[in-house]
Amino acid sequence: MGIIKAVAGAIGGGLADQWLEVIEPDDMSDTTVFTRGVQARRGDKRSSNRRGSTDTVSNGSVVHVYPNQFMMLVDGGKIVDYTAEEGYYTVDDSSLPSLFNGQFGDALKESFSRIKYGGVPPTAQKVYYVNLQEIKGIKFGTRNPINYFDSFYNSELFLRSHGTYSIKITDPVLFYAEAIPRNKDRVDIDDINEQYLSEFLEALQAAINQMSADGQRISFVASKGRELSKYMADILDGDWRQMRGMEIRSVGIASISYDEESQKLINMRNQGAMLGDPGVREGYVQGSVARGMEAAGSNAAGSMAGFMGMGIGSNIGGGFMGAASQSNQQQMQNQKAPGGEKAEEDLWTCSCGHKNSGKFCAQCGKARPQAHTWTCQCGHVNQGKFCAECGKPAPKRLKCNRCGYEPDPAKPAPKFCPECGDPMDGADEV
């Protein structure tokens, strides 16, 4: 008993007149992985089923296979033929197995020769279909928190995760033999998922621990679905393909939550990072002062009493608040632009002796002196002793040591100061 491709010319609107018994898959939803074939015209008086048994596939019956379906013809408990190619096939008692491998190439032959039967009752002749589409939306949730060492927080944290994953059947013969319960004519993924879910969650913990070892931030886990799928595939796919003929296709993280202690540690670390910014600290100081004044104004004994109390408190804590504010402002003043390396390099000392970082002296108001620049003969403007473009040395810079006159360095140096007549020699070089 086997199947052969139906003649294309006989397929059309008159299909029911050509073959009176047409077998199609029973209703198959997005989560259905396995179902039995049923007659497309059940109850039709013109049916050619001569044996009259519901568990018999008549000789000459037509089997319809849709895209992304794998059809198996089972006789006496044995898988006698199959196809992964869409189309119409006729059942022929005298035909040898055709084994239409379709997208699977010769990979199915090994499974077929090794299994050849699925354990169904030995007297039944049936047609079965396996869903080759990606089975999506399989829900999962961690029963217990998963430990996660985060090097950024330098702490062992614990998280819970919920989401969905999908699988794809890669070897339908092996899947039928190992994953489908005996005597079942229809199976949804939820019917067989309990064992797989336990294995999935075990692999999920291993995958998340691997992400931790790879240095991923815990807050990034929810956005790392693709990476997580790869980790899961590395852990599970080899076993699942070999044992059951299926594999993990994708993992979607819907939510990540932390246990109470982990959330406290994360909040404490984030608050510390924020207060490490002098601008944030200064805002906190000023906010504390404003809140104190607001509280004083709403004092039940009267605002005057509140402000008197605030004045007493200011004598006690004002020194600390003032010192904190001054420290914050000094750090903000000394902070560099992005990069922040060696803020000391941005400081300059005024002629009055005060050290500053802005454009004007905070003590006397004098402008920050500009760095001396000179223009090379090649046209490049420089500040150092040599031209950054052509390498020529900078011209000597002169300043009269008597009156302070500075000649233009781009012009030939005068022998005498045009202002006071003093000779311009080596003593006037700056």
The stretches in the chain having pLDDT less than 50 are: 8-18, 47-52, 117-122, 316-317, 320, 337, 339-342
CA 417 to chain centre: 72
Please state whether beta strands 69-75 and 125-131 pair in parallel, antiparallel, or not at all (unpaired).
Answer: antiparallel
pLDDT of residue 17: 44
- The CA angle 417-421-423, to the nearest 5 degrees, is 65
How far apart CA 249 and CA 320 sit, in angstroms, is 60
pLDDT per residue over 280-295, tens digit each?
556 555 666 556 555 6
Length of the chain: 430
H/E run at residue 238? helix 238-244
Structural Rg of the chain based on CA atoms: 42
Residue whose entry in the numeric block shows the structure tokens 């408190």: 313
Helix (H, G, I), strand (E, B) or coil at 208: helix
Tell me, what's the pLDDT at 423?
A: 86
Of 193, 56, 192, which Cα lies nearest the Cα of 121? Answer: 56
Q: For position 71, what pLDDT does the model report?
A: 92
Please report, as a single letter, which amino acid is at residue 303: S
Closest CA to 159 of 255, 262, 258: 258
Task: Map out the domains of the chain with their CATH numbers.
Answer: 2-131 (no CATH), 135-263 (3.30.479.30), 374-430 (no CATH)
pLDDT of residue 68: 92
CA distance 135 to 31: 6
d(CA 86, CA 102): 9
Q: What is the pLDDT of residue 360?
A: 74
